[in-house]
Structure 1
Amino acid sequence: MTETRSRLVTAVEIRKRGDELAEFEREFTYPLGDDSFRIDHGADYLAFFEGLGDPVVVLAEQRQRVVGVLVAVCRPDPLCWYVCDLKITATARTVGLARRMLGVWIAGRDLVGFGVVMDPARGANRMARIAPGLLRVALEVGPRLRFYSLDFAAWGGVSGVLERELGPIAFHDPRGTKDIVLRSSGEAMPLLHAQYGRSARAGSGPPRPGHVHMLCLPDGDPLIERLSMVGVLPTASATVLHHRMPRHEWRSLLTSDI
């Protein structure tokens, strides 16, 4: 059996291995309505994560080839860790490797934190099922997040309802740092992420024709029912996993951070 090694790596090493990491990411696809997509972090793999905080990166390797990546950042409000990326190739994917990678990252940390796992198009979320027994710390399954993808006209039809609840909404363009590449076209979706509340990014702009406008809401949020009443339904979902964050307001989590 090929030995797999997990270790913390520096930003300098990550940037030197950018082409290898870009190729590694091509394997992973996620459902989006009737389509699916993969993620492209662009020429600088770390740029997206550095927009969230100071990233801690763990690589898993077999014979010096990347077979797993974990990225976590510390968020300030509330103070907590966010595991914003955890991927393992199909050939190396085991519960044991995920546990070891998380263990390398957790070592010595007083952990309060969370992660978000995209749900499959059909069936149960495997990571959510195994999470409670994955680590020595207690991981809990939090709410499911519902993702909405609206064109310019559809956004105009519901923006008033959303802003009455969420406050003023602007949009962040992730181009070049985290593109969603559609299976159907092979092209990056022209995408804008809704920005509102305390997590909103500076420099965001208005909605744009020809773009998809995305936001997410946690199960139980009254806005889900209001959107459903006007025919606006989610196109994807994800599950929150957390440790010691039972009363967190998940409505504040933006799709630009996922």
Structure 2
Amino acid sequence: MTLRDYLFYLTNAPSLEDLWSAHTQKMAEFGFDRLIYGFTRYRTETSLGDPEDFIVLTNHSRDYIRGFMDEGRYFHAPMTQWALNNEGACSWQVIQQMFKSDKMSKEELKVYEFNSRFDVTAGYTVSFKSVSGRSKGAISLAAKPGLTQAEVDKIWKKSGEDIQLMNNIAHLKILTLPYSTPTRSLTKRQREALEWVGDGKTTQDIALLMGLTSATVEKHLRLAREALAVETTAQAVLKAALHNQMFVMEA
């Protein structure tokens, strides 16, 4: 598949599952067989927001993700910190340089040792251009076990611009597709009620439009707020919209 054909497929992917399956396969052709994509819209000076609100896509092993994401090591990873303060692509050679020069903090060293146990030692990180001060996205491209960073740098010298372009397009496409987690997903009725609120309808209006009682509409809105972990219906509408869960076309 040519670069043009791949980008055409990528921009027309109907779901995150289809996009991610194709993208992981394409990156593996260049030697990057384990990826983590992450995006947040809730960044502050001291936090990246609630991990439940992150968009996270990965094909790493469950054991690795449990230790890296679930146990919070990602926040102290040197390349995460680089991505938060930079845009573009960066070789993991900087990690090796930090280790050799004894410039790693205690927490960074723990991440380095953890990654070494899983052969996550060579690769590149691509940090995407932020659309606001509170948003940030990046992707970690870990090379196949056995590849040295010097070999990976040669791959990047030859094909890095194409690889970065494909990841930039994948990132932009991901931002257009619906995303939910088991604890942040909405039912069809909850989504419909929020959509009518977004259209400026009152509870009484929504009850007539949906053929329900006002009490039932209020119940759907309350459950939507709980599912999205927000306090007000306005916040629920905003969060659902940010995660592209509003006005979803049913299959």
Task: Give the helix-richer structure, 1 or 2.
Answer: 2
Q: Highest Rg: 1 or 2?
A: 2
Q: Answer whether TM exceeds 0.5 for this pair.
A: no
Q: TM-score, normalised by structure 2?
A: 0.25
Of structures 1 and 2, the one with the larger relative CO (CA 8 A, separation 6+) is 1
